[in-house]
Amino acid sequence: MVVKEFSGKGIVIKIDHDKCTGCGECVKNCPADVYELVDGKSVAKRVEDCVECCICVSACPVNAIEHSSC
Protein backbone atom coordinates (compact mmCIF):
# COMPACT_ATOMS: atom_id res chain seq x y z
CA MET A 1 0.00 0.00 0.00
CA VAL A 2 1.39 3.37 -0.98
CA VAL A 3 0.10 6.08 1.30
CA LYS A 4 1.79 9.45 0.96
CA GLU A 5 1.79 11.72 3.97
CA PHE A 6 1.96 15.51 3.87
CA SER A 7 2.06 17.73 6.93
CA GLY A 8 2.29 21.37 7.89
CA LYS A 9 0.92 23.69 10.58
CA GLY A 10 -0.33 20.74 12.63
CA ILE A 11 -2.35 19.32 9.72
CA VAL A 12 -1.68 15.88 8.28
CA ILE A 13 -3.08 14.79 4.92
CA LYS A 14 -2.65 11.20 3.80
CA ILE A 15 -3.33 10.20 0.22
CA ASP A 16 -3.60 6.55 -0.72
CA HIS A 17 -1.86 6.36 -4.08
CA ASP A 18 -3.13 2.84 -4.68
CA LYS A 19 -6.69 4.20 -4.62
CA CYS A 20 -6.02 7.58 -6.32
CA THR A 21 -7.11 7.52 -9.97
CA GLY A 22 -5.78 10.99 -10.76
CA CYS A 23 -9.28 12.27 -11.47
CA GLY A 24 -8.34 15.76 -10.26
CA GLU A 25 -11.47 16.38 -8.17
CA CYS A 26 -9.37 17.35 -5.13
CA VAL A 27 -7.28 19.73 -7.25
CA LYS A 28 -10.41 21.29 -8.75
CA ASN A 29 -12.42 21.61 -5.53
CA CYS A 30 -9.88 22.65 -2.89
CA PRO A 31 -10.44 26.38 -2.29
CA ALA A 32 -6.88 26.84 -1.05
CA ASP A 33 -5.15 25.19 -4.01
CA VAL A 34 -3.39 22.65 -1.79
CA TYR A 35 -3.32 19.79 -4.32
CA GLU A 36 -1.49 19.09 -7.54
CA LEU A 37 -1.33 16.06 -9.79
CA VAL A 38 2.15 14.64 -10.22
CA ASP A 39 2.57 11.68 -12.56
CA GLY A 40 -1.17 11.04 -12.39
CA LYS A 41 -1.44 11.02 -8.60
CA SER A 42 -2.58 13.69 -6.17
CA VAL A 43 -0.02 15.31 -3.90
CA ALA A 44 -0.77 17.88 -1.18
CA LYS A 45 1.93 20.36 -2.10
CA ARG A 46 0.70 23.25 0.04
CA VAL A 47 -0.70 21.82 3.27
CA GLU A 48 0.21 25.04 5.06
CA ASP A 49 -2.45 26.88 3.00
CA CYS A 50 -5.23 24.47 4.06
CA VAL A 51 -8.31 26.11 5.60
CA GLU A 52 -9.65 22.80 6.99
CA CYS A 53 -12.92 22.89 5.03
CA CYS A 54 -12.87 19.10 4.38
CA ILE A 55 -14.13 19.50 0.81
CA CYS A 56 -11.25 17.38 -0.52
CA VAL A 57 -12.26 14.41 1.62
CA SER A 58 -15.85 14.46 0.38
CA ALA A 59 -14.86 15.33 -3.22
CA CYS A 60 -12.67 12.26 -3.68
CA PRO A 61 -14.80 9.57 -5.35
CA VAL A 62 -12.58 6.73 -4.13
CA ASN A 63 -11.98 7.88 -0.53
CA ALA A 64 -8.27 8.16 -1.05
CA ILE A 65 -7.82 11.23 1.18
CA GLU A 66 -7.51 11.19 4.95
CA HIS A 67 -7.32 14.56 6.70
CA SER A 68 -6.46 15.04 10.37
CA SER A 69 -9.13 17.76 10.78
CA CYS A 70 -11.97 16.03 8.94
The reply on whether position 31 binds ligand SF4 by CB under 6 A is: yes
Asked if 2 interacts with ligand SF4 (CB under 6 A), we say no
Total residues in contact with ligand SF4, by rule CB under 6 A: 26
The neighbour count for residue 39, using CB atoms within 10 Å, is 7
The torsion angle over the Cα atoms of residues 20, 52, 70 and 19, rounded to 10 degrees, is 0
Return the number of other C-beta atoms located less than 10 Å from residue 20's C-beta.
20
Does residue 23 bind ligand SF4 (CB under 6 A)? Answer: yes
Residues in contact with ligand SF4 by the rule CB under 6 A: 15, 20-26, 30-32, 34, 42, 50-56, 59-60, 62, 64-65, 67
